[in-house]
C-alpha cells in the first residue's frame, strides 16, 4: 500500500488549517462534522474530536480541514496533528464508513398476456434460471428468494419460472390492470439488484416429477419418439404461452399418452382444446395408430 504523506496548508480563515494527503481519502461525498456525535460515520473525525481544541472537521477528496477553538494557535499544534493524521491513515483504518454503491445488472422486462386469463408472463432479455421451476405456495418457494417475495403479495397464487421468463398466476380477486406494473417493477428490480432467483438447492420441475410420480417411462421406442416430438415441436410453443409440458408415461395397450401441464398451461381454459386439437393431432399424424389419446395432468 502506498504510504500517506500529509502537507499542511493555510487557508484564508486563520482558524482553519488544511491537511492535504497524497491519495484520495473519500470518493463519494464531502463531509462536515460539528461534534463527535455527528461523526459516527467517520472513525477518523471521532478521534480528532478527542483533541480539546478541534471545533469542526471537514473531509473532502484528498484533504482534511480542521477548525480550531481560540484556546490554541495552529503554530503550537499543527505538527502534532499532522503526525497523528499520518499515523492514522497509514494504519489502514477507515476515514469514512461510506456505503458501497450498489451495482445493478442491466435488464429489460416486459409483461405478456397468455391464453390463461389468470396468468401473466414476464419476459426478460437474459437467461434467469437454468431449468423449469414451479412453486404452488410460499412453502415450496424456500429455495427461491424471488418466488418468496412474490408470494408475500396477496394476489399471487402460483409462480412458474423457465429460462428467460416468469409466469405469475393470480387469484380471481385481482385485476391485471391494477397489479401488472407492480409485479413487473418488483421482478425487474430483483433481477437488476443481482439478488438470487433460485438457489443451487432448488429442485427443478423435472426433478420433482421424477421423485413424486416416478421417472418417465422412456425405455420403449414409442416413448422416446413421443418425448422427442414434445421437446422439438410442442415445448417451444407451450413456453411462448408461459407454460411447460412434461412427458409422464405411455400405455402401449391403451395407446394413451399422459403428459403434465405446468405454468400458464395448468388450469388454462383453452388447454383442453390445445391438447386435443394440437398435441394429440400431432402425435397421431406423426406416430400413426400408436397413439389414440393424450391425457393431461395439471402440474
First to last CA, the chain: 59
Per-residue confidence band for 97, with pLDDT thresholds at 50, 70 and 90:
confident
Cβ–Cβ under 8 Å, residues 71 and 88: no
Which set of grid coordinates corresponds to residue 226? 413421443
Please tell me whether residue 89 adopts helix, strand or coil conformation: helix
Q: Give the 3-state DSSP-derived string for 196-248, with helices as H, strands as E and coil as C.
A: CCCCCCCCCHHHHHHHHHCCCCCCCHHHHHHHHHHHHHHHHHHHHCCEEEEEE
The residue that leads in pLDDT, 161 or 242, is 161
Which of 148-157, 223-232, 241-250, 283-292 reaches the highest mean pLDDT?
148-157
Cβ–Cβ under 8 Å, residues 134 and 167: no
Strand-pair category, 165-170 with 293-298: unpaired
Asked if pLDDT for residue 214 goes beyond 60, the answer is: no
Tens of pLDDT, residue by residue over 6-18, are 999 999 999 999 9
The residue that leads in pLDDT, 219 or 85, is 85
Question: What is the average per-residue pLDDT within 265-288?
Answer: 70
The residue that leads in pLDDT, 235 or 187, is 187
Helix 221-229 to helix 280-287 angle (10° resolution) is 130
Asked if pLDDT for residue 293 goes beyond 80, the answer is: yes
Asked if pLDDT for residue 215 goes beyond 50, the answer is: no
Asked if pLDDT for residue 232 goes beyond 50, the answer is: yes
- Cα radius of gyration rounded to whole Å, the chain: 32
CA-nearest of 266, 66, 32, 7 to 162 is 266
The residue that leads in pLDDT, 212 or 297, is 297
CA atoms of 179 and 115, how far apart (whole Å):
18
Per-residue confidence band for 213, with pLDDT thresholds at 50, 70 and 90:
very low
pLDDT computed for residue 272 by the predictor = 57
Tens of pLDDT, residue by residue over 56-96, are 999 988 899 999 999 999 999 999 999 999 999 999 999 99
CA atoms of 261 and 116, how far apart (whole Å):
12
pLDDT computed for residue 48 by the predictor = 96
Per-residue confidence band for 37, with pLDDT thresholds at 50, 70 and 90:
very high
How does DSSP classify residue 100? P
pLDDT computed for residue 248 by the predictor = 79
Amino acid at each position: 500500500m502506498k504510504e500517506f504523506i500529509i502537507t499542511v496548508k493555510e487557508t484564508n480563515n486563520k482558524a482553519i488549517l488544511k491537511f492535504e494527503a497524497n491519495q484520495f481519502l473519500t470518493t463519494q461525498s464531502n463531509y462536515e462534522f460539528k461534534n463527535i456525535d455527528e461523526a459516527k460515520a467517520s472513525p477518523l473525525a471521532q478521534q480528532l474530536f478527542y483533541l480539546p481544541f478541534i471545533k469542526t472537521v471537514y473531509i473532502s477528496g484528498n484533504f482534511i480541514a480542521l477548525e480550531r477553538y481560540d484556546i490554541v494557535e495552529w503554530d503550537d499544534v499543527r505538527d502534532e496533528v499532522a503526525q497523528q493524521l499520518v499515523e492514522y491513515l497509514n494504519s489502514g483504518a477507515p476515514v469514512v464508513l461510506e456505503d458501497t454503491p450498489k451495482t445493478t445488472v442491466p435488464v429489460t422486462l416486459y409483461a405478456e398476456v397468455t391464453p390463461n386469463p389468470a396468468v401473466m408472463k414476464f419476459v426478460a432479455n437474459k437467461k434467469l434460471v437454468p431449468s423449469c421451476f414451479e412453486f404452488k405456495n410460499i412453502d415450496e418457494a424456500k429455495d427461491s428468494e424471488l418466488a418468496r417475495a412474490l408470494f408475500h403479495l396477496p394476489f399471487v397464487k402460483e409462480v412458474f419460472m423457465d429460462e428467460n421468463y416468469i409466469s405469475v398466476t393470480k387469484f380471481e380477486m385481482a385485476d391485471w390492470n391494477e397489479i401488472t406494473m407492480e409485479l413487473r417493477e418488483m421482478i425487474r428490480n430483483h433481477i437488476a439488484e443481482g439478488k438470487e432467483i433460485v438457489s443451487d438447492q432448488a429442485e427443478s420441475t423435472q426433478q420433482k416429477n421424477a421423485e413424486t410420480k416416478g421417472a418417465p417411462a422412456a425405455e420403449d421406442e414409442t416413448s422416446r419418439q413421443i418425448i422427442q416430438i414434445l421437446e422439438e415441436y410442442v415445448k417451444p410453443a407451450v413456453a411462448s404461452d408461459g407454460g411447460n409440458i412434461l412427458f409422464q408415461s405411455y400405455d402401449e395397450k391403451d395407446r394413451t399418452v399422459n403428459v403434465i401441464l405446468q405454468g400458464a398451461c395448468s388450469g388454462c381454459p383453452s388447454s383442453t382444446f390445445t391438447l386435443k386439437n394440437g398435441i394429440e393431432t400431432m402425435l397421431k399424424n406423426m406416430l400413426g395408430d400408436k397413439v389414440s389419446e393424450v391425457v393431461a395432468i395439471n402440474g
